[in-house]
Amino acid sequence: MKRILLFMLLIILIIFSACKDDENSNISDDIQESDSLISLTIFYTNDEHGWFQETEYYDGGAGLVGLWKSKDGYDGSENFLILSGGDMWTGAAASTWFEGESMVDVMNEMEYDAAAIGNHEFDFKVSGLNQRLSEMTFPLLAANITEKASGEIPDFAQPYIIKNIDGIQVGILGLASRSTPYSTFPANVVDYEFTSYSDAINAYAPQAISDGAEVLILIGHLCESELQDIADIAKSNGISVMGGGHCHQIITQRYHDVIILGGGDNMKGYAKVEFNYNVTQDISQDFVIAYESNDQDIIDENVKTVVDYWMDETNSVLSEVIGYASDDILKSSVEMWNMVCDSWFYTFPDADITITNAGGIRQEIFAGDITLATVVGLLPFENQIVELELTGAEVKDCINNLIIGGMTTVNGYFLSDGTPIDDLTEYKVLTTDYLYSQPSINFATYDDSPYLTTVHYRQPLIDWLRSINTTSADPLENYLDYTIRW
C-alpha cells in the first residue's frame, strides 16, 4: 500500500511540475511579447520645395513642428520618425535663392531622420547636392541610383539606414524617381543610372534584413500609381510602410497590406501613421493613418527662429517692389502663361515665337506688391533662354503640351498679327535650354546649333514688370492677355 501511495504521490508531483513549467513558459512568452511591442509614429512630408515660411494660408516648418507637438505628442524621442519623400528645396524664393541651404537649416531644426532623393535635389548640379548633404544632420536615401562608370551607388546616396527604436531595428529604404533624367536638367545627372524600383527592393531589402532590420519602411520620390505597382514586391520583401512623392499627392491608404503615405506638397500638411509593432506579429491591426492640414496657427518657436533668420536674409536681397496686382494670378491660368511667354519679347523684340513649359511656372502672384522674391519663386529654375531657327512645320511639331507666345493654334496656326504660319518659312523661336535638352521634343533635331543667349528665363519678366510700373491705381491685371492660344 505504501508503494502505491508513494507512486501516486510521484505522479502528482510530476504533473504539478509540468503544469508549473507550462505556466512559467506562458508568463515568459507574455513578457517577451510585451517587451518586443513598440509604438511608432511616422510624420511624412514630400515635395516641400522650400516652403518653410509661414504664408497667408499655411504655417510652414514652424507650424508643422507645432502640430506634431500639440496634436501628436511629439517629444523628440526615438519613437517618432520624421521622413521626406524628396524635392526639398527648389521653389520658394527663400530656398531657391540660397540653393537649398536655408531649407536644410530648417529641416535640421525640425529633426528630420531621412529623405529620399527627388529630381529637384539635382537642380544645382551634383556639386550643389553634395554641399547641401555636408550641411544635413540626416541622410539622403536612394537604392536605385548607380554610377554609370562603376555600377556603384554614388557617395551622396545611401540605399538604406537602420535605426534602433526601443530595441527594435527599423530599416528605412529609399528610391529616386526613374523620371529624374528628364525632370531635372539632363546634364546634371548624365553620369548616373536610375534603375528599376523592383530590382532595388529585391537587392537591398534582404540586405537590410540581413543587417538586422526587423521593420522595413520605404520612402521614395514615386507617385501613388508607382507605389501601388510595387506594393506586392514591397510586401514580399517585408516592407510594411511606403511613402511617396513627385506627384504632390495626399495619400493615406492601405494597399495590398502595405500602408502608403503622401504628404501633399509645400509643407501645407503632413501624412502620419501610428502603429504598434511586435516582432512576432508584424504591425498590429490598430494602426492609424491620417493627414493633418498645417493651417492651425500652432507655431514652434525654435523652428520659427531659424525661419525668421532666412526670411530676413531673403528680404535683404529680394524685397525690391517691381509691381502690383489687385487680385491673385494663378500659376496655371491662361493670363499667367501668356504673361510669361510674352515677357520674353521685351528682351528679344525680333523673335517671332516663344515656347516654354507650364511646369516651369511654380507659384501664384498673390494680390499686393510684387517683389523680386515673387518672380524668383514664380520661375525658380536655373534655365536660360536659347534662340532657334525653325520652320513653321517644325514649330507645329514642337509645341505639343507646351505654352506659347507670338502665335495661336485656335482655328489654325497664326502669328499674333494674324499672319498664317507657313510650313516652309523659318521663324526665330525662343525656348529654354532645359526644353532644348529634352529628347522628347525635337528642338535639337531641327536646330543643332542654337544661339545660347545666357539670359535667365525669369529676367525678361522682371524687366517688363519694372517697365510698366504697375501700382494699386494701375494694377498688373490691366496689362494681361486673357485669350486662350491653344
Band of the pLDDT at 50, cuts 50, 70, 90?
very high
pLDDT of 39: 87
pLDDT of 278: 73
| Residue 9 domain flag | no
In this structure, the answer to whether residues 272 and 390 fall within a common structural domain is no
Tell me the per-residue pLDDT of 378-394, one tens digit each, with 9 for 90 and over.
Answer: 999 999 999 999 999 99
In angstroms, the CA 88 to CA 106 distance is 11
| Residue 20 domain flag | no
| Residue 156 domain flag | yes
The domain that holds 350 is classified in CATH as 3.90.780.10
In this structure, the answer to whether residues 414 and 277 fall within a common structural domain is no
**Cβ-Cβ contacts under 8 Å for 203 (sequence gap 6 or more):** 143
The domain that holds 108 is classified in CATH as 3.60.21.10
pLDDT of 30: 34
pLDDT of 106: 98
In this structure, the answer to whether residues 332 and 276 fall within a common structural domain is no
| Residue 74 domain flag | yes
Q: Last residue of some domain: 272, 290, 310?
A: 310
Query: For residues 273 and 241, is the Cβ–Cβ distance under 8 A?
Result: yes
In this structure, the answer to whether residues 413 and 384 fall within a common structural domain is yes
pLDDT of 287: 81
pTM of the model: 0.90
Q: Last residue of some domain: 275, 310, 345?
A: 310
Averaged pLDDT of the chain: 92
Instruction: Give the domain range for residue 394.
Output: 320-479
pLDDT of 34: 42
In this structure, the answer to whether residues 248 and 331 fall within a common structural domain is no
pLDDT of 15: 33
In this structure, the answer to whether residues 330 and 398 fall within a common structural domain is yes
pLDDT of 389: 98
In angstroms, the CA 219 to CA 143 distance is 10
| Residue 176 domain flag | yes
Q: Is 441 helix (H, G, I), strand (E, B) or coil?
A: coil
Band of the pLDDT at 38, cuts 50, 70, 90?
confident
In angstroms, the CA 223 to CA 207 distance is 25
Q: What is the grid cell recorded at 163? A: 535605426
Band of the pLDDT at 332, cuts 50, 70, 90?
very high
Q: Is pLDDT of 237 > 80? A: yes
In this structure, the answer to whether residues 287 and 339 fall within a common structural domain is no
Tell me the per-residue pLDDT of 238-262, one tens digit each, with 9 for 90 and over.
Answer: 999 999 999 999 999 999 999 999 9
Q: Is pLDDT of 35 > 60? A: no
Q: Report the domain count for the chain.
A: 2
Q: Last residue of some domain: 310, 334, 368?
A: 310
In this structure, the answer to whether residues 207 and 301 fall within a common structural domain is yes
**Cβ-Cβ contacts under 8 Å for 9 (sequence gap 6 or more):** none
| Residue 12 domain flag | no
| Residue 356 domain flag | yes
Helical (H) or strand (E) element with 160: strand 160-165
In this structure, the answer to whether residues 337 and 280 fall within a common structural domain is no
Nearest to 339 by CA among 361, 366, 371: 361
